[in-house]
């Protein structure tokens, strides 16, 4: 019984992570689609608020700053992308565990 429980938890985690990855990819495509059609003045204000960076690039820069590090543009975008995907995949896996626990 114990072994079966572990395998179903593992399966739920993997399925949740996959669902999170798929959702992250779909939302990326949808966000790009919406940004391309957004009102230009609203888009400009949003870009200025983020300092011309992507939201995850800005998060990467802030994270690095908290650690006393600075990032070049390539590093900022790579870390930002990693944060983006980690949040999506981690949230999917976390949801799978919470759903198992709380139904």
- Residues 6 or more apart in contact with residue 94 via CB below 8 angstroms: 16
The one-digit pLDDT tens for each residue of the chain (103 residues) are 566 666 788 999 999 999 999 999 999 999 999 989 999 999 899 888 888 888 899 999 999 999 999 999 999 999 999 999 999 999 999 999 999 888 7
- Tokens for 32, please give them: 């790009």
What's the number of CA atoms in the CB half-sphere (13 Å) around residue 59? 13
Please state the pTM of the whole predicted model.
0.79
The helix/strand/coil state of 52 is coil
């Amino acid at each position: 019984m114990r072994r079966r429980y572990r395998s179903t938890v593992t399966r739920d985690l993997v399925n949740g992570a996959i669902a999170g990855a798929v959702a992250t990819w779909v939302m990326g495509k949808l966000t790009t689609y919406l940004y391309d059609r957004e009102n230009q003045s609203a888009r400009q204000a949003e870009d200025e608020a983020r300092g011309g960076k992507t939201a995850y690039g800005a998060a990467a820069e802030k994270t690095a700053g908290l650690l006393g590090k600075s990032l070049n543009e390539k590093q900022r975008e790579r870390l930002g992308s990693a944060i983006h995907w980690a949040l999506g995949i981690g949230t999917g896996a976390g949801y799978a565990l919470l759903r198992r626990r709380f139904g």
